[in-house]
Structures are given as C-alpha cells and as structure tokens.
Amino acid sequence: MPKVSVVMPVFNREHYVREAIESILAQDFEDFEFIIVDDGSTDSTIEVVSGYSDPRIRLIEMPVNCGVSTARNVGLRAARSEYIAVMDSDDAALQQRLSKQIAYLEAHPEIDILACRAIKVMGSQKIPMNHVTNDAEIKARLLGMDGSAMIHPTTMMRAKFLTENRILYPSRTVDEDHGLWIAAMVAGGKFASLEDHLFLYRRHASNITEQDQKQFQQEKTPLRTELLGLFYPALSGDEVYAIAVLMNPFSQLSLRNASDGVRAAFKAIQYNDPVFGESRPYLNTLIGSTAKRVITALEKSRPPRQGTQ
C-alpha cells in the first residue's frame, strides 16, 4: 500500500491539469498513488491525463458530470492509503508538500486534518497567504466561511479518522470543504497547518457576477447556522439563525431582522467556553464586529436630530 493517496477531481481543465499533475509527479516523496477522478470532461482532459505513463496514476472516469462533491467522494472511496492529500486540478504543489505534511502527521498522531500555507497566484502576481496554524484559530475561522480557516486543496487527512467516523463530502454545489470540516470537528477531529508555503493556489480572473456572489453568500447561511448552533448550544434556533442572517453582507435586513440579530449577537458573546477547542476570542470578535457593522449602518441611515448643529 502506498503511504499517501493524492485525490484530484478534474472537469474540463485541459489547460491547467498538466501543471497540477507534474507538480505531484515531481514530489520528493515518491510512495504515493495519484487518483485522478475525471468528472465527465468534454474537452481533451482525459487525453492529457492518459498521456502520462507513470504507474502511480489511477484514472477513474465518472459516467457523466456529477459535480465536484461526488467526484471527491468517489476519490475518497477509491483511496487505499493511510493519508489522503487533497488536490485541485488548477493548482500546483511545491516539491516538498507531501514529504513535509507526512513527516508532521507521523510526528503528531493527534492531528487529523493538516493544511499548509499557500501562495496565491493571480496572473503573474504571487502573493504569500499567511493562514493561522493552530486548531483553535482554524476552528473559529470556519464560521467566517471565507477561506480564512484553511485552503482546502492544501489539506492532508488521516484516512482512518474519516472512515471510522464515516465522514464524506456533503452533497453541496459550494462549500463542500466546509461541510466536511464541520463534520470532522463534530467527530472530535483536530486541525493544524504547517507554516511553510508549499502550494501554489491559482485564482482566476474573476468573472463572478454580483448575482452569483449573492447566491454564494445565501448558500452559506445554513452552514453558518449549523456552526453557530454548535458553538453556542445555549442559544435558540431562532437566535443562531438571526446571527447567520446578520453575517451575510448581502442580506436585506428589516429593522426586525437587524434587531433580532444584534440582540442575539450580544447574547452570544457572553459565552466564552470552547465547545470543540475553538478560539472564543476570535468568535467574539467576528460576531461583535458583525453586529457593529449593522449598528453603524443603522446610525448612518438615521435622520439628523432636530435642534442640534
């Protein structure tokens, strides 16, 4: 059995997939299987992948385009190794990614999901990202749902932890990574990140419309509600939902929504005991600043008071 299974779904990425594949084949740690799940590509992706003769590559073809979450799950089911390295088809791993992550996980049996830092690539720009590295900060940042907890394709997971707790990616079209991490946290999982920058994370020239943005934010509300319920078990369902609505920057808040959200937020920040080891100061700051943003907006929209200068 190889030590690590690299799992990479790919869908119509003929232009980028070569770089992703070669970055794995060039790793200084060689004992891996490389599971590439083609999710019904209609361009030349399969020809590109088939062009590599490295015996460590296992190409798995989905019969139709099934979506990234299903493709990742099929990859997880096919994986045979002790560790699973997540990979995306438009990124590139630096040469020591696998070796450094495996060395860390071998030395830290308490960690179940390990990220590393990434360098964001936008055109010719390369910007190092400095993500937090400890369990408490990572867990608290899950609530932001803004990519500040971990960069998903940089993660390596302990396969035994996933199978024992029956953790797979939820069937979502977006944020399937956060869905898996929440399940992992609930199952008692511990997170960490290496400080080393071992990954090139490509961001494409954004052609996401504001309408898409609104839709994405909207779909975060159920996951935020779930997380808030977990982090604040003494708040009611109505209260955690009110905070989740407040956290969506695109929410059209009625005075009632705003008031419910602000009241619930003030109530939430009274609770300072970690439930899953998450950083409470960070949660308080996040929720407090959300309430403050809404209050400031309300103050600005207030008509000027009569009789003052």
Partner 1 sequence: MGRPKLSVVMPVHARPEMTQEAIASILVQDIGDFEFLIIDDASSENMQDMLNTCKDPRITTLRLPISGGEALARNVGLQAAQGEYIAVMDSDDVALPHRMSRQVAAMERSPKIAILGSWTQKFKGSKIQEMHHPEADAVIKARLLALDGSAMIHPSTMIRADFLKRHSLFYPIRRTDTDHGLWMEAMFSGAQFANYPEVLLRYRRHDGNITNTDKDRLHRDKLGLRQQIVARFFPTLTHFEATQLASVLQGGGTGTVAEACVGYSLFLKAATQKQSIFGESRPHVNQILKEHAERLRQKIAFNS
Residues that bind partner 1 (CB under 8 A): 60-67, 70, 73-74, 77-78, 166, 168-173, 219, 229-230, 232-238, 240-241
Angle, alpha carbons 94-190-132 (nearest 5°):
55
Q: Which is nearer to partner 1, 60 or 269 (CB)?
A: 60
Contact 115, 196 (CB under 8 A): no
Query: Minimal distance in Å, beta carbon 277 to partner 1?
Result: 18
Q: How far is the CB of 92 from partner 1 (least distance, A)?
A: 26
**Do 136 and 37 contact (CB within 8 A), yes or no?**
no
Cα 138 to chain centroid distance, Å, stands at 10
Question: CB of residue 93 vs partner 1: minimum separation in angstroms?
Answer: 24
> Rounded CA gap, 128 and 143, in Å?
23
Length of the chain: 309
Which residue, 234 or 295, has its beta carbon nearer to partner 1? 234
Minimum gap (Å) between residue 266 Cβ and partner 1: 16
* Rg, C-alpha atoms of the chain: 21
User: With respect to partner 1, which residue has the nearer C-beta, 228 or 258?
Assistant: 228
Q: Which is nearer to partner 1, 235 or 294 (CB)?
A: 235
The residue assigned the tokens 């705003």 is 258
**Contact present, 155 and 293 (Cβ < 8 Å):** no
Nearer to partner 1, 95 or 171 (CB): 171
Q: At closest approach, how far in Å is the CB of 235 from partner 1?
A: 6
Three-state SS sequence of 162-228 = HHHCCCCCCCCCCCHHHHHHHHHHHCCCCEEEEEEEEEEEECCCCCCCHHHHHHHHHHHHHHHHHHH
User: In whole angstroms, how close is the CB of 137 to partner 1 at the nearest point?
Assistant: 23
Between 148 and 165, CB nearer to partner 1: 165
